[in-house]
Structure 1
Amino acid sequence: MSFSQDLAPILDVVKRIDPSFGSVDPEQIASHAEDAHRYASGTAKDRFLLSAMRLLALSGNGHTCLIPNDAIHVLPLRFVTVGTSVFLTKASTPVAEFAPCKLVAVNGVPVKRIERAAECLLAGTSQRKRVIGPLLFAWPAALVHLGCASSGDKTQYQFETGDGHTAKANVSISDAVPASEFYPSNEHGQVDPVWSPNGFVAIHDYADDGLALTLPSFFDPDERAFPEAIDRAATWVRSRRDGVLVIDVRGNTGGDFLATMPLIDAITESARTNGCAVLVDKFTFSAAIVFVAILRYRLKRKLLIIGEDMGDGLRFFAEGGLIELPASGASIRYSTALHDWENGLADQTTPPEIARQIVAAGKLEVNRTWVTTPFDATPKDVLYRQLINDLA
């Protein structure tokens, strides 16, 4: 099968549609496009997809990428980056007995060396690469491409268990399953790949001490439930002006930040006295980052950012859409509009409704580093209570 029909929309994105390629050397684009064309003419689907990943990663823009999840098979292992380490969180083979555990090496090659080799395939910040990169550790074709090919039918993994011991396990390549079973296209970083948000807002009331809001997603395809949830959260926030406020947007991959403005207004009014803490992580993306940026701009030092760097910086290209590739079954996400929340700038590509809201938030530096691991079973209610007590 030829994948030339898949290459056409990819080249259209790179050369015409997506403004994030505007600063890329044309000769570099031409060189990688030639590689992709060569593999598109062959029958090795995975090799073509890897070449397309590298081409699209040239933009350096995390929103612009090839998403191979629906087109490839992987070993039945789910890897997720926690902090800067890769963890096995779930498996459908005997390897499951080790989960959760830290990944040390694949086929004798250390994880860090594989990550360095994979950087050219992954676009965006180092944090975004840590979000989408773990898929490569379970993708046999990618392991070959990255210089750690398996010996025969077995792929050997070396792990470090929770008690500090080392374990090795072999997984048969013939056990491979569709990647989407273990790696959702919209990676959320949860232990279980089938996790989905349970509602848009969870309210945790600690009486006079404070209030915590969990905001797992800003994406509502029906555009009805989300505004209602935001209004309800805003009402709660306005009713509790004397307590500490904690907002949790870890794992929130975005959606419609404009619909969150009533809550942003309520937080701004209520947090001016006691301040506000917001929890973020590398799985905080897009509209959730904008949500934090506006709060930082409005509250200044009254906003305490706790966690780790988010999945993007404050200057990125977004909007755009998704194109399904008919021959391979993969898809590409492209961008059409500039968002510059660091400097407060817009250009002709920025939608007017977004340009009207853009502010110069500066650098969103984390005030307190805090990352949990799969070994930490502390319930959210207990965590929020601890934070509120610390901040009171």
Structure 2
Amino acid sequence: MSLTEDLNQILETVLPTDPSFQQIEYAVIDNCISETRRYALEGSTEAFLMSAMRLLALPENGHTRLIPNDAITVLPLRFVSVGRSVQLVGAFPEITAPRGELIAVNGTALSQIEAKAEQFLAGTCQRKRVIGPILLAWPYALARLGISSNGGTTEYRVQDENGQITNLKVAIGNTVPGSMLYPRNEHGKDDPTWVPKTFVEIKDWQDLGLSIALPSFFAPNETTLHKAVSAAVEHVRACPNRTLLIDVRGNTGGDFLLTMPLIDAISQSASKQVVVLVDKFTFSAAIVFVAILKHRLGNRLKLIGEEMGDGLMFFAEGGLLELPTSGAVVRYSSAFHDWKNGTTDKTTPPEITRKIVPVGALKLDLEWVANCADEDADGTFYQRILSSVST
């Protein structure tokens, strides 16, 4: 097998199926295909992957993208976007690395690197912030972006919370499989192997209200998510006069249809303020969950956090394509979603069409990015949010 076969799978499966490409001029697509084919014929795997990333990023639809994580090796550092900064949150044990904000790589300011990387990253600005940090640890990507290494090392300038600057040098040959530090569904946690221990976490804060954390709608099976949603429904219906805090930060999606009973319960039972916490790692079905709640509750819903990872108009459904030669994965779309205007087209599945509502916009009522101190203290962050709502 060759990289040409990988490209053919993209051309035969993704481009004809994915409606998000219909808005792109063929000449632009053809130019990207030609570059990707050239690298495929050369057998240059990493060059092929980055060119394919650029091709699949053309529609600016975050659901459509090449995910290189399983196919590449990276320097043993984990970078994660926090707010509008990129933080070094972890490293392999053999490297003594400071935690803190990334300022520059090989003397180039992070803002300049991000501007150069944009064309390779799919989706909104927030989606790019989620999936972009892997490029900062991928030696080939840095070289392609013109961030040349010096003397066989990559130098990172990191600033800790006290303002102290550290210049961390890592040998470019010291790499590990990308998937060890950067999961396919990036959740923003320090630990890349994080998976939710439970799909609903409910806490009663007495006079302040009730919190319900929903970390993921990607349950291992429908029964697991159904049980979690049912438990949340029971608590909501039992506490109709309580302020509710719903946390979907880091929820990358799943099946929003299975969450409809909870949406119904909140809509029918919550008589006080409903607060929803969101962040850039809130995607897909989790965004739809918030959108339907906003449509039903109107001003009774208060949105706190940061802009989510997608807008209200996007392409989704589709599937995953495993590329046999490179080992990369392609995520592609097949259906149009318009939760902004409440419109559909022939690609929108009937079950989605029946639920589509015109939300208009999902604007933050309060921008609030939690820091580590907020999250470390048991319940401190939730209590602060609930207190701010009740005052």
What TM-score does the superposition give when structure 1 sets the normalisation length? 0.97
Match of 1:384 in 2: 382
Match of 2:222 in 1: 223
Match of 1:45 in 2: 45
What is the letter of the counterpart of residue 109 of structure 1?
T
- Distance apart, 1:111 and its partner CA: 0.4
Match of 1:145 in 2: 144
Partner SS state of residue 304, structure 2: strand
What is the letter of the counterpart of residue 27 of structure 1?
A
Q: Deviations over 1:217-265 (max 9, x none)?
A: 0112321111011011001011111111000000000001000000001
User: 1:208–1:242: 8 Å Cα contact kept in structure 2?
Assistant: no
User: 1:2–1:42: 8 Å Cα contact kept in structure 2?
Assistant: no
What is the letter of the counterpart of residue 87 of structure 1?
Q
Partner SS state of residue 365, structure 1: coil
Q: Deviations over 1:361-387 (max 9, x none)?
A: 111011100002346544351211222
Match of 2:172 in 1: 173
Distance in 1, Cα, partners of 2:181 & 2:228: 30
Is residue 63 of structure 2 the alignment partner of residue 63 of structure 1? Answer: yes
RMSD: 1.3
Q: Deviations over 1:143-190 (max 9, x none)?
A: 001110212321011010111011101001121000001000110000
User: 1:342–1:361: 8 Å Cα contact kept in structure 2?
Assistant: yes
What is the letter of the counterpart of residue 382 of structure 2?
Y
Distance in 2, Cα, partners of 1:244 & 1:377: 21
1:293-308 matches, cutoff 5 A: 293-308=291-306
Match of 1:265 in 2: 264
1:8-157 matches, cutoff 5 A: 8-92=8-92, 95-99=95-99, 101-157=100-156
Distance in 1, Cα, partners of 2:158 & 2:384: 32
What is the letter of the counterpart of residue 203 of structure 1?
I
What is the letter of the counterpart of residue 159 of structure 2?
E
76-85 or 144-153: which moved more?
144-153
User: 2:90–2:97: 8 Å Cα contact kept in structure 1?
Assistant: no
What is the letter of the counterpart of residue 170 of structure 1?
K
Distance in 2, Cα, partners of 1:230 & 1:215: 9
- Distance apart, 1:96 and its partner CA: 3.9
Against the structure 1 CA distance between its residues 96 and 278, is the aligned structure 2 distance closer, same or farther, given a 3 Å change threshold?
farther
Distance in 2, Cα, partners of 1:372 & 1:95: 27
Distance in 1, Cα, partners of 2:288 & 2:98: 38
Against the structure 1 CA distance between its residues 331 and 174, is the aligned structure 2 distance closer, same or farther, given a 3 Å change threshold?
same
User: 1:14–1:21: 8 Å Cα contact kept in structure 2?
Assistant: no
Against the structure 1 CA distance between its residues 193 and 199, is the aligned structure 2 distance closer, same or farther, given a 3 Å change threshold?
same
What TM-score does the superposition give when structure 2 sets the normalisation length? 0.97
Distance in 2, Cα, partners of 1:338 & 1:286: 12
Match of 1:363 in 2: 361
Match of 2:200 in 1: 201
Partner SS state of residue 8, structure 1: helix
Distance in 2, Cα, partners of 1:338 & 1:238: 34
Partner SS state of residue 347, structure 2: coil
What is the letter of the counterpart of residue 324 of structure 1?
E
User: 2:374–2:380: 8 Å Cα contact kept in structure 1?
Assistant: no
Q: Deviations over 1:191-214 (max 9, x none)?
A: 111111111100011234310000
280-289 or 224-233: which moved more?
224-233
Partner SS state of residue 288, structure 1: helix
- Unaligned ranges ≥5, structure 1: none
Percent identity of paired positions between Structure 1 and Structure 2: 53
Q: Deviations over 1:282-323 (max 9, x none)?
A: 000000000000000000011000000000000000000001
Distance in 2, Cα, partners of 1:374 & 1:158: 21
Distance in 2, Cα, partners of 1:343 & 1:106: 42
- Distance apart, 1:2 and its partner CA: 3.4
Distance in 2, Cα, partners of 1:93 & 1:221: 31
Distance in 2, Cα, partners of 1:380 & 1:324: 41
Partner SS state of residue 323, structure 1: strand
Distance in 1, Cα, partners of 2:152 & 2:61: 36
